[in-house]
Amino acid sequence: MEREIKIGIIGYGNMGQAMAKGLVEKSGFPAENILACAGHFEKLKENAAKLGIGAVQTAKEVAEKSDWIILAVKPYQLESVIIPIQDILKSKLVISVAAGYHFEKYEGMLLPGTHYICTVPNTPISVGEGILVCEEKHSLSDKEWDCFTDVFGKIALIETVGTEKLSIAGTISGCAPAFTAMYLEALADAGVKYGLTRGAAYRLAAKMVCGTGKMYLEEGKHPGEMKDAVCSPGGTTIRGVAALEKTGMRGSIIAAIEAIEG
C-alpha cells in the first residue's frame, strides 16, 4: 500500500525538503512517488534533483497527481493556495504543516468532506529522528490514520495532542532544536578550550545528546533519575550541575519557551 501512495508537497522550503529527505533516505519511500512545487521553479528543480523527486510548476498539478498533499507553504499563503484547488483536495488526504493552524481554521478553506490533519513536524525528521505533533481532532478515516502513522512513524515520533496544546507541543519539538544546537556549540567550545579538536568536540556532544534522548525513550526513566545516576557524591558531574543551577539553566530554558508562547 505504502509504495502505491503518491505524495505531493506544496511549498518546498526547509520543512518540505526535510520531510522528503527523511521519507526517501531513511524510510525507503520511493522518490518517484513524491512530487513538489514551489515559487521559484529553477531552485525547486535543483533541490528536487538531490533526492530524485519530481518538480512541477503549480499546486494544481501537484494536487491532481498526488494522493496525499502536504501543505508546506507559509501560513499567510495558505488561503491563496488552497481556494483555487479546493475541489481537487476534497478527494485527497491533506496534511498541514503550517505553524499556528489547526482543524477549525481550515473549515473555511477546505470543502466539507475533505480529509485532513494538522501537524507540526521538526527538522530532525530529515534524518529519521523527527517528531510529528498531530492534532487529535482530524477527519482521517481509521484506515487513513493507520497508513499515515505507518508512513511517517518510520521517520518520526508521532505524538497526538489536543488543539489547545498544539502550540506548546510544537514549540518544544520544533523550536528546541535551535536551543539544542546552541548547547552543542557551547559544549564544543568548552572542549576546544581544553584541547579537543572542533570536529571531535562536536561529535562527542552530538552523540551524547542523541544517546541521552534514546535512553529516556527506551527506558522511560525520569530525567532526574538519569541525572542522579551520573552524579557521584563529591564527584565532577555534581559540581557541574551545581554550576548550571547557579547560573539559572532551567529558568533560562523555561523563559525561552515563555518568550515564544507569549
The verdict on 23 and 125 lying in the same domain is: yes
For the segment 26-40, what is each residue's pLDDT rounded down to a tens digit?
999 999 999 999 999
The verdict on 184 and 156 lying in the same domain is: no
**Amino acid of residue 3:** R
CA distances from 16 to 133, 134, 168, 205, 213 (A): 16, 16, 21, 28, 25
The verdict on 25 and 112 lying in the same domain is: yes
The verdict on 88 and 182 lying in the same domain is: no
**The CATH number of the domain where 198 resides is what?**
1.10.3730.10
Number of other CB atoms surrounding residue 186 within 10 Å: 11
The verdict on 115 and 180 lying in the same domain is: no
Q: How far apart are CA 216 and CA 178, in angstroms?
A: 20
- Beta strand pairing call for 115-121 and 130-135: antiparallel
State yes or no: pLDDT of 1 exceeds 90.
no
Does this model's pTM top 0.85? My answer is yes
**Mean pLDDT on 61-70:** 97
Residue 168 in any domain: the answer is: no
Residue 143 in any domain: the answer is: yes
The verdict on 156 and 184 lying in the same domain is: no
The verdict on 33 and 155 lying in the same domain is: yes
DSSP 216-234: HHHH---HHHHHHHH--TT
Residue 167 in any domain: the answer is: no
For the segment 207-238, what is each residue's pLDDT rounded down to a tens digit?
999 999 999 999 999 999 999 999 999 999 99
Mean pLDDT rounded to a whole number for the chain: 95
The verdict on 123 and 33 lying in the same domain is: yes
**The CATH number of the domain where 117 resides is what?**
3.40.50.720
State yes or no: pLDDT of 5 exceeds 80.
yes
Nearest residue to 63 via CA among 42, 81, 44, 77: 81
The verdict on 154 and 55 lying in the same domain is: yes
Q: Which of 139, 162, 185 is the last residue of a domain?
A: 162
Segments forming the whole domain that contains residue 240: 176-261
Q: Is 72 helix (H, G, I), strand (E, B) or coil?
A: coil
CA distances from 178 to 20, 39, 253 (A): 21, 26, 12
Q: Which of 120, 138, 162 is the last residue of a domain?
A: 162
Residue 3, pLDDT score: 60
The verdict on 200 and 223 lying in the same domain is: yes
The verdict on 181 and 247 lying in the same domain is: yes
- End-to-end CA gap in the chain: 43
The verdict on 144 and 37 lying in the same domain is: yes
Residue 171 in any domain: the answer is: no
- Label residue 100 by pLDDT band (50, 70, 90): confident
Q: Is 220 exposed, middle or buried (0-12, 13-18, 19+ CB in 10 A)?
A: exposed
Residue 49 in any domain: the answer is: yes
Q: Which of 102, 131, 162 is the last residue of a domain?
A: 162
List strand residue ranges (DSSP E) for the chain, in order. Answer: 7-10, 34-37, 54-55, 68-71, 93-96, 115-121, 130-135, 156-161
Q: How far apart are CA 106 and CA 100, in angstroms?
A: 11
HSE value, Cβ hemisphere, 13 Å, CA-based, for 126 = 13
Query: Under a CB-based contact definition with an 8 Å cutoff, are residues 107 and 79 in contact?
Result: no
Residue 68 in any domain: the answer is: yes
**Mean pLDDT on 189-200:** 98
Split into its structural domains, the chain has a count of 2
Q: Is 115 helix (H, G, I), strand (E, B) or coil?
A: strand
